[in-house]
Structure 1
Amino acid sequence: MNPLLDPSPLDYQLPPFASITVEHYVPAFLAALDDHDAEIAAIVKNPEDSSWENTMEAFEASGQALARVANVFFNLSGTDSSDEFNAISAEVLPKLSAHSSAIYQNEALYQRLQSLTAPEDEESQRLLDHTLRAFRRRGAALSDSDKQRLTSIDASLSALAEKFRNNLLADTKELAVSFERFELEGFSDARIEAAAAYAREIGREGYVVPLELPTVQSEQSVLDLPASRSKLYEASQQRGRLNGEVALEMARLRAERAALLGYASHAEFVIEEETADDVAAVQGLMSGLAPAASANAMGEYKLLAEAAGTEITGADWPYWESKVRARDYSLNEDELRQYFPLSRVVRDGVFYAANLLYGITVEPRPDLEGYAPGVDVWEVKEEDGTGIGLLLTDYFGRPSKRGGAWMSSFVDQSHLLGTKPVIVNVMGITRPVSGEAYLTLDELTTVFHEFGHALHGLLSDVRYPSFSGTSVPRDYVEFPSQINENWAFHPEVLANYAPDLPQQLIDAIDAAKQFGQGFATAEYLAASIIDLAWHSLSVAEVSEITDIEAFEAAALVAAGLDVEHLKARYQTSYFNHIFGGGYSAGYYSYLWAEVLDADGFDWFSTQDDLRVAGQRFRDLVLSRGASRDYTAAFTELRGRERDITPLLRRRGLGGSKV
C-alpha cells in the first residue's frame, strides 16, 4: 500500500502528503521504473504498424507513476531537505539517469517514432519534431560506444548537480550569520525578534540572519553598522567551499557531451532549443548592454560614495542606495513595508489581478493539507465555477528549505491524460515571531513573479504533457512571470491591496524606478557572462583552468563589465541556477524574456479593456505552453515582432547599441 504509486484519490490528484513517509520513496521509485520499462517495451513490441495513437500518444502517456513519485520527492527535497532525502537522491538519481538514457537511446523506439506522420494540427506536428530532436540530442543516432559514454556523462552530471546543491545547502545553513544585539542596529523590533527566533530554531545563541541565494543580501540595505553589513556580504561569498571542483568537472563533462553530439560547445547545444537564434545573438544582447550598464553602475557608485562622505565597498552599496533613494525620492523601504502585509498582497493583489485579467478566482481549501505547516492550499476556478486546478503557497523560509523562490508542479495539465494542474509557489520570506509578515519591494514583486509562473501552469490548455504549462524554452518561460510583476504597481491593483498607501509614496516608487538600474543590470549581466563563459569552453580549455576567481574576472574584463565594488549576482561556487538547476548556458534568459515583458506590457498599457486584453494574453501565451511557435504567438499578440526599445527605456539604457 504505497501511496505514491496510484493516482491520489484527493481532489485534482493532490498528493496525500500525510500518508507519505520517507520509507515509501525508494520502493516507489523502483516499482515506477519497472512500470515505465514495461510500458516502453509494450510500445516497441506492438505487432501492429506504428500509428500516432499506439506509438506517439502511448509514449506521451507512459511513465505516469514515475512522474508522480518524482514530482513529490523532488519538490519536497527542495522545500524540506534532510539527510534521509539526500541519501535517497544519491541512490535514485543514477537509476533515473540511466533509465532516461536507455529510453532515448532505444533504437527500436526511435525507428517507430521516425516512421510516423503527425496529424495536421500544429500541436501534434510540433510534438513529433520536438520528440525526434530530443532523441537525437540524447544520443539516439550515436554508435554503441558513444551511447555508453553519453550515458555515463549524463549519470555523472546528475550526481554532480545533486552534490553541488547539497554542498550549497549545507554551507548556507552553516554560514547563517550570528550577531549580537548591538550589531543589528537598523533592524526593526520585529526583525530582531525573528533573528532571535531563527537562532533558537537552529540551536544557536543570540541572533542569526539566514543567507539568501544571491551575493548581495537584502538586509545589507538596512543594517546601520558597516561591520554588520560586511559580515553578511562576506559570508554570502564563502558558500560552496567544496563546489569549485564540482563546477569544473561539470563544465568539462558538459563540453565533452556537446562535442560527442556534434556541437561546438555546451552553450551551442543548449541555445539550439531556446528562442534565441544562436549563441551569437545572446552574446550580442549582453555585449550591447554591458557598456551602458557599467557606466550607469559606476555613476551610481560615485553618487552613493558622495552621500556616504567616504569610499564604500560592495557590502555598503545597498545601504547607501537605500539612503539616497530615501533622500532623493522620499522613498523609505522600511516605511513602505507596513503597507504590504503578505496575506493582503496575495488575496487582494495577486489573486485580484488574476481575476481582473483572466476572470479566475482563487479560493482557500482548508480541507486539503499541504506538505508542511504553513503551506496553504487554494482552488482556482473559472468565472462559471468550473475547477481549473490547485495552488499551494509556501512562502516562509525554513532551515531545511533551499534558498530562492520558485514555481513547480505536482500534477501537470494534459487533455491526453485527463489531468488538471496542481502547482506550488515557494519563497523564503522570514517568518515573523507573531502577527503578519510585511514585504519589501523586492519580495512584493517576487510574489507576483512566481504567481506569473503559476498562471502559466494553471491556465495550460494543451493535449500533450510534454507541452504543458511551463515546459517551454528557458528564455520564454520567464515571459509570463516577468509580465505579471508589472501588475504589482498597476493603479487599480495597488489600490486594492494597499488602499492606505499615500499618493506621495506611490509617486516616489514610480520616480525611483530607474534608480539603481545600473547596479541591478550590471550584477545580473555579470552572472550571465560568467555562465556563458563556462559553457563556451572546450574540454581542453576547461582542463587548463586552475583559478576560478581569475577565470571569472577575466570573463568580465573581456565583456567590459569590470565594475569596482560590484560582484556578480551569483559566483561560480554558489551559482545554483547553472550548476544545481536547469539554467546552464541559459541564465541570460531572464533578460531575453524581459525584452518580451517590457514590449508586451507596453501593449497591455494601450488596451482599454483589461479583461479582454487578459483573455487575449491567456489564449495566445498562458494556455498554449509549447504547443505553438513562440515567436508567432508574441507577434500575433503585439501585432509586430518584438522591440527592445521598451526594455532600454525601462532600465535607463537608452544609449545602448543592441
Structure 2
Amino acid sequence: MTTATNPLLSESPLPYHLPPFADIRVEHFEPAFEALLLDHQAKLFKITHDPTPATFKNTFAAYDAAGGRLWRVRLLFHNLCSSASTPELRHVERRMAPRLASHDSAVAQDRALFARLDEVYRQREALGLNEEELRLAERIHTYFVRAGATLGPEAAARYAQIMGRLAELGALFKQNVLEDEAQFITLNVPNDLNGIPPFLLDTLQAAAQERALPGYIVPLSRSVIMPFLTFSPNRQLREKIWRAWTSRGTHPERDNRPIIKEILALRLERAQLMGFASFAEYALIDRMAGTPQAVHELTTMLWKPALAAVACERQILVELARQHSEPTDIKAWDWRYLSEKVRAERFALSDAQIKPYFSLERMIEAMFDCANRLFGVTFSERQDLALYHPDVRLWEVYRGGNIIGLFLGDNFSRPGKRSGAWMSAYQMQTRNDGVRCPIVINNNNFAKSNRGPVLLGLDDVRTLFHEFGHGLHGLLSNVTYQTVSGLSVPRDYVELPSQLFEHWAMVPEILERHARHYETDEPLPETLRQNIEYAARFNQGYETIRLTGAALVDMAVHELTDLQDIDIEAFERDILTRLEVPPEVDINHHLPHFQHLFTGDGYSAGYYVYQWAQVLEAEAFAVFEASGDPFNPELAERLYRNVYSVGNSRDPNRAFAEFLGRLPTPKALLKAKGWNA
C-alpha cells in the first residue's frame, strides 16, 4: 500500500492536520504502522550515527521530533478504538498492541542511541540550556532508564518480552469490558417503568431505538446505570442492574480474572528486573508522591473522617427509609435511591428539579465562557469538516486573535464506545516537529434524548467541566517540545487542571448566566442554587470511601511481592474487609473491570492521583475565593503561566508552589469536605 492509497502515510490535507476521517479505513492501519515504524527506526539510526559531536539539538531535540508521525497515527488509532470500535478494529488492535510495544522496547534498549543521549545528559548543566531544554533532557533520560536501557542483554530481552505481552493483555482486558458494556437489560412494560421520571424513560427508550429494538432497555453504560439506580423505586430491579454492572469482566467468555493475574505477575517481574521490590515502588518513583508511604499518608488522613462521615450518612438514610416504609437493611443498590430522597426532602433538591436548568448546550456555553474569562480563549464551531461519527462536534480555539488549537466534543454513549469520560488528543502541541497546534477531544457518555435537549444532572455537569479542564491543559500548552507538551506530566499532577476547573461550574455568576430553564429561559432560582451548595457536602463520606477504597485496593495489589496462587476477587474482599468498607457503600471499581489499572500503566498503582490532585485543586481554588473574584485576572494569569500552559517543561512541584506562593497542605481539602472541625 503506497502513500497515494493510504491516507495515514501522507500529511493530512485538512486544516491544522486534522485526520481525514472520511478517507480512513481499518485496513489502512497495519501497513501504515509497519511503514512508520521503519521510518522512526531510520530517523533514530540517523541520530545514533551522526558523525558530528553529540549536542542537545542533534540528540534530545532530534529524538523528540523523530517520533511525531508515528505518534500521531497511534493517537488516531487509540481514539478510534475507544470511541468508534468495531470487531475489525479490535482485531487490528489485538495484533498491533504487542508489535508497537516491541518497537517501543527496542528503541528504549538501543544501547548506541542511549549512549549518545547519555553523553549529552551528563554534561547538561554546562551546556547553557534553558529550563525547558533541561527538563526535556531529564525526562527523556529517565524514560530510557526506566524502560531498561541500562539492563544487561538477557534482562533487557526479557523486559521487552514483558512489555509486548502486557500490551497484548491490556488490549484484551479493555475489549472484554467493552463487550460486557455493550450488553443490556430489557425492561418489562409497564411494571419495570413505574416511578421512573420522564427524562430517564426517554433515555431508556432512545437506547433501545439506537439498537433498533422496541421498548426500553438499560445498557451497561455508567451514564444510564447511575440514574437508574437513583430513580427506580423497584428494589429488586435495582439489584439486578447493580449486579450486572459490577460483574463486568467476570463472565466466562470474557473473564478478566486470569488476565489480571498474568498482568500483575509480569508487572512484578518488570519491577524486580529494575531493582524494585514491588511494582508500586517502581511506578511511584517517577511521580510526585514518590513512595507508597506518601500515598498511604494521604489516604490515612482521609480514611477515618470518611468512615465517620459515611456512618452519619447511613443513619440519615436508615431514618428516611423507615419514614417511607422502605427496607432499612440498606444495600449497595439502595444508597443512591435513598440519597436522592434525602436531597429532595432535606435540601429541597432533586435531579428532576435541577436538570431542566442544565441543558448540555447551555453547559458547553458555560465552560467556554469560563475559559474565556480565565484565559482569554474563544471557540468558533465548524461544521464543514468530516469527523468519525455524526455525534462529534468541532471548534476552532483562539487566543489573542490567533488560533491555538482544535477542540472536539464527543458527548454521547453508543455501542462501540467505551463507558466513562476521558480526554485525549489527535495531535500534541509542538514547535519542534514543525509548528503544530493541539487537536484535543473530550469524550463523555451522556444519554441522548428523543424529546428535546439533553439535560444534565450535577454529576454530569461536573464531569463535563472536569474533562474540559483536561482539554484546556492540552489546548493551552505553549512549549517547544512534544515530549513535555500538554498532559505529559506526572500522573498525580494530571488531574489538577481538570478537578480545579470543576469549581467554576458552580460559580454563582456562571449559574445565573447559563443555568436557565430549557423551556422558559428562567434563571436557576437562588434558593435552588443555595440548596445545591448546601447539599454538596452530603454524601462526601460515601464518595470518598468509594474513591479511596478503590485506590487502596490498587495500591495493595501492586505492593504484593508474592503472587503465587492469588485469587483476585478473594484478595479484593479481604482488603475491603480489613479496611472496614461498608458493603452498602462499596468502591468505584472492582478489579475485573478496573480499566484504569489494567489497560495500560497510566493509573496502575496510581488511582490515588484523584485525591492527590484534590489537595492541590482545593488549595488553588481557595486562593481565588480569598481574592473575592473567581475570575481574578492576576491569579488567572499565574494559573495559566504555572499550570495550564507549561506542560512538563517545568518541575510540577516548583511550578505549583510558584502559583500558590507556598507548598500545599491538606487543610483546604478537609475544609471543602466539611471535615476541618
> TM-score per shorter chain, which class?
over 0.9
Q: Distance in 2 between matches of 1:508 and 1:489?
A: 12
User: Which has the higher mean CA deviation after the structures are superposed, 110-119 or 588-597?
Assistant: 110-119
Q: CA deviation at 1:49?
A: 1.5
Partner residue, 1:57: 61
Q: Distance in 2 between matches of 1:577 and 1:98?
A: 22
Equivalences for residues 541-580 of structure 1 within 5 A: 541-546=562-567, 548-558=568-578, 560-580=579-599
1:380 to 385, 388, 397: 397
Partner residue, 1:10: 14
| Structure 2 counterpart of 1:555, one-letter code | I
Partner residue, 2:544: 521
Q: CA deviation at 1:259?
A: 0.4
| Structure 2 counterpart of 1:630, one-letter code | P
Q: Distance in 2 between matches of 1:142 and 1:223?
A: 57
Q: CA deviation at 1:178?
A: 4.1
Gap runs ≥5 in structure 1: none
Q: Distance in 2 between matches of 1:448 and 1:557?
A: 35
Q: Distance in 1 between matches of 2:643 and 2:72?
A: 26
Task: Tell me whether 1:340 sits opposite 2:358 in the alignment.
Answer: yes
1:537-593 deviation digits (Å, cap 9, x = unpaired): 11xx212312x22211222333x3421312111000111111124210000000000
Task: Tell me whether 1:263 sits opposite 2:269 in the alignment.
Answer: no
Task: Tell me whether 1:25 sits opposite 2:29 in the alignment.
Answer: yes
Contact 1:33–1:66 (8 Å) recurs in 2: yes
1:498-528 deviation digits (Å, cap 9, x = unpaired): 1410001001001111100010000111100
Contact 1:526–1:561 (8 Å) recurs in 2: no
Q: Distance in 2 between matches of 1:178 and 1:260?
A: 52
Task: Tell me whether 1:331 sits opposite 2:344 in the alignment.
Answer: no
Q: Distance in 2 between matches of 1:587 and 1:481?
A: 15
1:473-507 deviation digits (Å, cap 9, x = unpaired): 11100000000000001112111211410001001
Q: CA deviation at 1:611?
A: 2.7
1:422-467 deviation digits (Å, cap 9, x = unpaired): 0000000001124210001100011100000000000001111011
Task: Tell me whether 1:370 sits opposite 2:382 in the alignment.
Answer: no
Partner residue, 1:498: 515
Equivalences for residues 159-558 of structure 1 within 5 A: 159-176=168-185, 178-213=187-222, 217-241=226-250, 242-309=255-322, 310-347=328-365, 349-382=366-399, 384-417=400-433, 418-499=435-516, 500-538=523-561, 541-546=562-567, 548-558=568-578
Partner residue, 1:598: 618
Contact 2:619–2:664 (8 Å) recurs in 1: yes
1:584 to 604, 607, 624: 604
Contact 1:215–1:569 (8 Å) recurs in 2: no
Q: Distance in 2 between matches of 1:490 and 1:643?
A: 24
SS at 1:413 equivalent: coil
Q: CA deviation at 1:177?
A: 5.4
| Structure 1 counterpart of 2:191, one-letter code | F
**1:213–1:339 Cα change, 3 Å:** closer
Q: Distance in 2 between matches of 1:44 and 1:19?
A: 36
| Structure 2 counterpart of 1:220, one-letter code | L
User: Which has the higher mean CA deviation after the structures are superposed, 58-67 or 444-453?
Assistant: 58-67
SS at 1:92 equivalent: helix
Q: TM-score, normalised by structure 1?
A: 0.96
Contact 1:456–1:623 (8 Å) recurs in 2: yes
SS at 1:528 equivalent: helix
1:277-310 deviation digits (Å, cap 9, x = unpaired): 3110001111221122112112211210111112
| Structure 1 counterpart of 2:376, one-letter code | G
Contact 1:215–1:236 (8 Å) recurs in 2: no
Q: TM-score, normalised by structure 2?
A: 0.94
Task: Tell me whether 1:134 sits opposite 2:147 in the alignment.
Answer: no
Task: Tell me whether 1:34 sits opposite 2:38 in the alignment.
Answer: yes
1:182-234 deviation digits (Å, cap 9, x = unpaired): 21223233432331232233354431112235997332111111122112111
| Structure 2 counterpart of 1:391, one-letter code | F
Contact 2:438–2:474 (8 Å) recurs in 1: yes
| Structure 2 counterpart of 1:120, one-letter code | L
Contact 2:223–2:447 (8 Å) recurs in 1: no
| Structure 1 counterpart of 2:624, one-letter code | F
| Structure 1 counterpart of 2:408, one-letter code | L
Task: Tell me whether 1:90 sits opposite 2:94 in the alignment.
Answer: yes
Contact 2:381–2:395 (8 Å) recurs in 1: yes
Q: Distance in 2 between matches of 1:19 and 1:416?
A: 28
Q: Distance in 2 between matches of 1:275 and 1:498?
A: 37
Contact 2:397–2:406 (8 Å) recurs in 1: yes
Q: CA deviation at 1:179?
A: 4.5
Contact 2:200–2:227 (8 Å) recurs in 1: no
SS at 1:544 equivalent: coil
| Structure 2 counterpart of 1:393, one-letter code | G
**1:424–1:283 Cα change, 3 Å:** same
Q: CA deviation at 1:53?
A: 1.4
**1:140–1:179 Cα change, 3 Å:** farther
Runs of 4+ that moved beyond 6 A: none
SS at 1:390 equivalent: strand
1:101 to 99, 105, 113: 105
Q: Distance in 2 between matches of 1:282 and 1:265?
A: 15
**1:278–1:157 Cα change, 3 Å:** same
1:144-163 deviation digits (Å, cap 9, x = unpaired): 11111101110111011111
Q: Distance in 1 between matches of 2:514 and 2:530?
A: 17
User: Which has the higher mean CA deviation after the structures are superposed, 241-250 or 44-53?
Assistant: 44-53
Q: Distance in 1 between matches of 2:211 and 2:48?
A: 53
**1:194–1:212 Cα change, 3 Å:** closer
Contact 1:216–1:315 (8 Å) recurs in 2: no
Partner residue, 2:671: 649
Contact 1:80–1:400 (8 Å) recurs in 2: yes
| Structure 1 counterpart of 2:492, one-letter code | D
Task: Tell me whether 1:155 sits opposite 2:164 in the alignment.
Answer: yes
1:75-117 deviation digits (Å, cap 9, x = unpaired): 0110011111111011111110110000000000000001103
Q: How many residues align?
A: 649
| Structure 2 counterpart of 1:503, one-letter code | E
Contact 1:213–1:404 (8 Å) recurs in 2: yes
Partner residue, 2:48: 44
Contact 1:215–1:567 (8 Å) recurs in 2: no
1:389-433 deviation digits (Å, cap 9, x = unpaired): 100000011111000000000010012121110000000000112
1:320-346 deviation digits (Å, cap 9, x = unpaired): 011011111111111100000100110
Identity %: 38
Partner residue, 1:71: 75
SS at 2:495 equivalent: helix
Q: CA deviation at 1:640?
A: 1.0
User: Which has the higher mean CA deviation after the structures are superposed, 15-24 or 447-456?
Assistant: 15-24
Contact 2:235–2:334 (8 Å) recurs in 1: yes
**1:215–1:284 Cα change, 3 Å:** farther
Q: Distance in 1 between matches of 2:99 and 2:643?
A: 36
| Structure 2 counterpart of 1:59, one-letter code | Y
**RMSD of Structure 2 on Structure 1 (CA):** 1.6
Contact 1:380–1:388 (8 Å) recurs in 2: yes
SS at 1:410 equivalent: strand
| Structure 2 counterpart of 1:290, one-letter code | W
